[in-house]
Structure 1
Amino acid sequence: LDELLRMEASAEHGKLCSCSRDVAATIRCLECHPDRLQCAQCALESHSSLPLHRTERWQDNHFVAAPLIDFGLMYHLSHDGARCPSWKDGDKNPDGHIIQVAHVNGFHAVRIGFCRCLNAPSHATQLLRMRMFPGTLSKPRTAYTISLLVTFHTLTRESNLNTYDYAKALARFTDQYSPYDIKTRYDNFRIVVRFWRDLQMKLRSGQHVGLLAELPPVHQGSIALLCPACPQPDANATSSSDGAPGSDNHQRTLYLSMDANFRAQQKDKTNDPADFHLHPGGAYFREDSAFREYLAAVGDEHEVCCTTACASTCSGFKALNVLRAGRYKNTLVSGILSVMCARHSFFRPNGTVDLQKGERYTHADYALAGALAG
């Protein structure tokens, strides 16, 4: 307890800074050396390339938050951290652009000095080269560090953390006692996360470097990951053997399984009209418009097979019970159905469809056809 209490103060407060300026050392950095106090100018110089560190000032016998931007820090992009030589007195925005940057330790207001050379890349590109993902491509005023996006993606996979709760946590990191409204930041953050995940899928697929051209034509339009162990014709498997006794047909056989998840529902609520899919039909789900045309063509399955219109008479067989009205009231999608390789549990490209009112053969057939086609 004594050591924890010691963190709230400093034995060096009131002393002069170790520099030659003859001023009191009142600033500490929580990321660098929490026990070391500096004057404002020394803190500014030591953090010229560390704008996302949290600093505090000793004031009225306690430490208070003192962002680096309050000391006049400007973070220059390009030119190895030096001010762009193309900057001139009287230029527009002589003090740079203030951008809200989200990092793993909270939100930061950072004064950015962009490169103004004639051949300088866009502001969004300059931010990306400094490992900051811009909130928009045109005149970005928000950015998210790559470390933040990687951390959130890992937490999402391991603990199902959602974007809203993570944004609230960042607000608490920024100000534990008076967290501000995060509505605007949350909306932008969830959009950035979607684009980030889409870009990561495309990077892993090798699409940008031309790797898809080396795959069989049936897989060239997909960014989904193929199972590396299952046989893929013209990729890791040659033509099948003649089926004679003792042949290796079992090694060339693709075993598939199919299952539904009725927890992945979509409620019937107001949706954003500007929302759209980033790669329709290019990964695991079938393309939506073609799927709806197929459902309209086959009609209601009740008309195809009258047995599904009646509730199941078997007390132990509950799969057909989901067709009963009321179980999925006010839902647009009652679940999803996916096809995967039975041996290694890799989801098949174009092998997943939305369900309406439970499992139906029409949906299963369409998912299986897409999985077999790749």
Structure 2
Amino acid sequence: MKQWLQHRSTFLDELLRLDGLGDASNSSIPCPDCSRHPATFKCNSCFGGTMRCSACTVSFHRNLPLHKIQRWHGGRLEERLLRVPTGPDRRSPSAGVALTETKHIFVVDLSGYHSVRIRFCTCPHTAFLDHFRQLLRVRWFPASTLQPKTVFTFDLMDTYHKISMQGKLNLYDFYTAIMQKTDNHGCTKIQYRYHEISRCVQQWRHLKDIKRGAAGHTSAAVDELGDGALAIECPACPHPGRNLPSEWENESGDKVWLYSLFLAIDANFRLKQKTRGIIDPELGSGLAYFVNVEKFSAHLKRHTDEDDIETCGTKFHAVNHANSKCSKDYSVSGVGAVVCQHGFVRKNGVVDLQKGERYVSIP
């Protein structure tokens, strides 16, 4: 640190230099690529930030639509937009030109927010594709399938997925950081897209689960997947037909324990959910660890009037309040789960509890 302090002013000068024209002493120098037009455009995302002319900047950013382009005009650098094609030919976008046939789309990337002009392809090869499918093919996740106006890059979605799994970072803080990266002084009006990214993150994780479950490569539709099809089962627990010898059920009494399955059942009443009037359908109900909501609800309706029978004289709280909701305005009063002795959650072994620890609620 002492050594760095000797060069602190130099570091500061270099940072300020990058905020200006860099190597270009003025805006009248020719473009270093074509030497025909003045170099008035600068990209803050490219390596080196070399000043180029408009045509060379467009050509260089043919496949880099989210780079931050600036134009030197009136003694200052101002933001410019790129037009992005979605067709297979990827024809050159154009910088700084107002095009009425293009549409403005709001792109959220790790580098921040981008207002981009996009031109959807109408060539015979892709004209039949919906706009949201064309966006997916350029690795942009649309927030809507009907006239999408907001997209999130695959890189953004995948990065948050990994950060949330490793660092437990919530989506709101991640979204706020991206928003502040674009405008940290609050002088620029940025469209609020938290609800959109929240919905897209759920869809992204659901699609990842289906891909990892190898369900996308089968001829059967995703809606036809069986209960627990995406769950990862314990490789050490006994599974007939997989890791057990033939005629294992005929083993003598002193070896029966080798093929025994040990399970633990418990509930957590801290995992509550308030009634919020959510009407969105559940993604992949019953496909992994939670039970199918419709089947579980039908099961509970058949046993609504059955009280758990107390077989001992103890006064445990869980027994006495097994049939009471205990909390008002909660749609879920807790979560019950079944795990094996190796710590793996059983497929369809997790349920939402509406009352106490009723045996009828445990799968």
Pair in the same fold by TM > 0.5: yes
- Distance verdict in 2 for CA 1:61–1:307, change over 3 Å: farther
Q: C-alpha offsets along residues 139-188 of structure 1, whole Å, 9 cap, x if unaligned?
A: 222221111111111111122223332222221122122264554x1122
Task: In structure 1, give the amino acid aligned to 2:113.
Answer: F
Question: 2 CA distance for matches of 1:321 and 1:21?
Answer: 87
User: What is the count of residue pairs matched by the alignment?
Assistant: 337
1:277 aligns with 2:282: yes
1:173 aligns with 2:181: yes
Instruction: Report the equivalent of 2:96.
Output: none
Following TM superposition, by how much is the alpha carbon of 1:236 offset from its aligned partner in structure 2, in angstroms? 3.9
Task: In structure 2, give the amino acid aligned to 1:328.
Answer: S
1:163 aligns with 2:171: yes
1:55 aligns with 2:69: yes
Instruction: Report the equivalent of 1:146.
Output: 154
Structure 2 stretches lacking a partner, 5+ long: 1-7, 94-98
TM-score by length of 1: 0.76
1:187 aligns with 2:187: no
Instruction: Report the equivalent of 2:337.
Output: 338
Q: C-alpha offsets along residues 198-247 of structure 1, whole Å, 9 cap, x if unaligned?
A: 1111111122223999xxxx967622222333332234435424232674
Structure 1 stretches lacking a partner, 5+ long: 85-92, 368-374
Q: Is the 8 Å Cα contact of residues 62 and 92 (structure 2) preserved in structure 1?
A: no
Q: Is the 8 Å Cα contact of residues 48 and 74 (structure 1) preserved in structure 2?
A: no
Question: 1 CA distance for matches of 2:336 and 2:344?
Answer: 14
- What are the equivalent positions in structure 2 for 1:1-374 lying under 5 Å apart? 1-2=8-9, 3-10=11-18, 11-15=22-26, 16=29, 17-19=31-33, 20-25=35-40, 27-29=42-44, 31-57=45-71, 66-67=79-80, 69=81, 73-82=82-91, 95-120=101-126, 121-178=129-186, 180=189, 182-183=191-192, 185-210=193-218, 222-239=229-246, 240-244=248-252, 247=255, 249-269=256-276, 271-273=277-279, 275-299=280-304, 303-305=307-309, 319=318, 328-343=327-342, 345-364=343-362, 367=363
Following TM superposition, by how much is the alpha carbon of 1:262 offset from its aligned partner in structure 2, in angstroms? 2.8
Q: Is the 8 Å Cα contact of residues 265 and 338 (structure 2) preserved in structure 1?
A: yes
- Distance verdict in 2 for CA 1:166–1:346, change over 3 Å: same
Q: Is the 8 Å Cα contact of residues 205 and 211 (structure 1) preserved in structure 2?
A: no
Following TM superposition, by how much is the alpha carbon of 1:76 offset from its aligned partner in structure 2, in angstroms? 1.8
- Distance verdict in 2 for CA 1:341–1:129, change over 3 Å: same
Q: Is the 8 Å Cα contact of residues 274 and 332 (structure 2) preserved in structure 1?
A: yes
Question: 1 CA distance for matches of 2:341 and 2:72?
Answer: 62
Question: Sequence identity of aligned pairs in percent?
Answer: 32
- Distance verdict in 2 for CA 1:134–1:323, change over 3 Å: same
Task: In structure 2, give the amino acid aligned to 1:330.
Answer: D
Q: Is the 8 Å Cα contact of residues 263 and 338 (structure 2) preserved in structure 1?
A: yes
Q: Is the 8 Å Cα contact of residues 40 and 71 (structure 2) preserved in structure 1?
A: no
Following TM superposition, by how much is the alpha carbon of 1:348 offset from its aligned partner in structure 2, in angstroms? 1.4
Task: In structure 2, give the amino acid aligned to 1:110.
Answer: V
Residue 202 of structure 2: SS of its match in structure 1?
helix
Task: In structure 1, give the amino acid aligned to 2:237.
Answer: C
Question: 1 CA distance for matches of 2:189 and 2:341?
Answer: 49
Task: In structure 1, give the amino acid aligned to 2:140.
Answer: M
Residue 173 of structure 2: SS of its match in structure 1?
helix
Task: In structure 2, give the amino acid aligned to 1:268.
Answer: T
- Distance verdict in 2 for CA 1:261–1:21, change over 3 Å: farther
Question: 1 CA distance for matches of 2:309 and 2:140?
Answer: 56
Question: 1 CA distance for matches of 2:89 and 2:175?
Answer: 32
Question: 1 CA distance for matches of 2:116 and 2:244?
Answer: 54
Residue 203 of structure 2: SS of its match in structure 1?
helix
- Distance verdict in 2 for CA 1:24–1:125, change over 3 Å: closer
Instruction: Report the equivalent of 2:5.
Output: none
Q: Is the 8 Å Cα contact of residues 57 and 65 (structure 1) preserved in structure 2?
A: yes
Instruction: Report the equivalent of 1:370.
Output: none
Question: 1 CA distance for matches of 2:190 and 2:75?
Answer: 30
Task: In structure 1, give the amino acid aligned to 2:199.
Answer: I
Question: 1 CA distance for matches of 2:308 and 2:37?
Answer: 90
Pairwise CA RMSD of aligned residues?
3.5
